[in-house]
Amino acid sequence: MRAPLIAGNWKMNGSSSLVETFGEVLRGAELPRGVDVALMVPFPYLAAARARFPQDVVVGAQTLSDQGAGAFTGDVGGAMLKDLDVGMVLVGHSERRTLFGEDDAAVLARVKAALDVGLTPVLCLGETLEERDAERTEAVVLGQLEAVLDALAPSDRERLVLAYEPVWAIGTGRTASPEQAQQVHAAIRARLVRYAAGLGEAMKVLYGGSMKPDNAAQLLAQPDIDGGLIGGASLKVDDFLAICQSAG
Ligand code: PGA
Q: Is 76 exposed, middle or buried (0-12, 13-18, 19+ CB in 10 A)?
A: middle
**Quick one: pLDDT at residue 169?**
94
The answer on pLDDT for 1 being more than 90 is no
Active site residue 185: no
Among residues 95, 165, 185, 201, the one annotated as catalytic is 165
Among residues 93, 95, 127, 131, the one annotated as catalytic is 93
Answer yes or no: is the C-beta of 61 below 6 A from any ligand 1 atom: no
Write the pLDDT tens digit of every residue in 190-213.
999 999 999 999 999 999 999 999
Q: Which CATH number fits domain 56-68+86-246: 3.20.20.70, 3.30.750.24, 3.40.640.10, 3.30.413.10?
A: 3.20.20.70
Write the pLDDT tens digit of every residue in 80-101.
999 999 999 999 999 999 999 9
DSSP 110-160: HHHHHHHTT-EEEEEE---HHHHHTT-HHHHHHHHHHHHHTTS-HHHHTT-
Answer yes or no: is the C-beta of 210 below 6 A from any ligand 1 atom: yes
Active site residue 93: yes
Ligand 1 centroid – CA 167 distance (Å): 9
Q: Could you tell me the sign of the dihedral formed by the alpha carbons of 25, 208, 218, 59, in that order?
A: negative
The pLDDT of 124-130, averaged and rounded, is 97
Q: Which residue type, as a one-letter code, is found at position 219? A: L
The answer on pLDDT for 149 being more than 90 is yes
**Quick one: pLDDT at residue 120?**
98
Query: Of all protein residues, whose CA lies closest to atom 1 belonging to ligand 1?
Result: 231
Name the residue ranges covered by the structural domains of the chain: 56-68+86-246
Answer yes or no: is the C-beta of 9 below 6 A from any ligand 1 atom: yes
Write the pLDDT tens digit of every residue in 46-85.
999 999 999 999 999 999 999 999 999 999 999 999 999 9
Residue 174's pLDDT band, with cuts at 50, 70 and 90, is confident
